[in-house]
Amino acid sequence: MYGYDEPVYLISVVSKILNIHPQTLRQYEREGLIKPSRTEGKMRLYSQRDIDRLKLILSLVRDLGVNLAGVEIILQLKEEIENLQREIETLKKQQGQIPRNRSVVIRKENYQLILVPEHKEEKE
């Protein structure tokens, strides 16, 4: 079994898997949306991560009608969000605990840190 990031799929295989023309894959590469690995003979090899990224690109283009410039912006924002989420996780580990007057909400797929002030009960 190959790893998620291991480049093993030829362009012809990827085009069949995703039902797109190989020229479309080359265009996405020229636009900088995907960066397949290359063999010594300059053949493109795609990893499962590349295929998943292509599925996202195709979904944005086909289903939502986003143009390639918009796709590029969305992918950049997605990457920035993932970087920030990793940074939050690192900071949470460094801190070791959340202050008592705060609460944390965690979603399964993405981590979202929500700080909510503790409510003090009013005495009558």
36, 49: one domain: yes
Domain of 22, CATH number, reads 1.10.1660.10
- 62 lies in the same domain as 80: no
Looking at residue 74, its pLDDT comes to: 95
Phi/psi at 62 (nearest 5 deg)?
-75, -50
Question: According to the model, what pLDDT value does residue 3 have?
Answer: 86
Both 54 and 83 in a single domain? no
Q: Which domain holds residue 122?
A: 69-124
Q: Are residues 52 and 75 in the same domain?
A: no
Q: What is the pLDDT of residue 81?
A: 94
User: Which residues have CB under 8 Å from 3's CB, separation 6+?
Assistant: 47
Instruction: Provide the pLDDT for residue 92.
Output: 80
Residues in the chain with pLDDT values less than 70: 1, 96-124
Same domain, 49 and 75: no
Residues 61, 99 share a domain = no
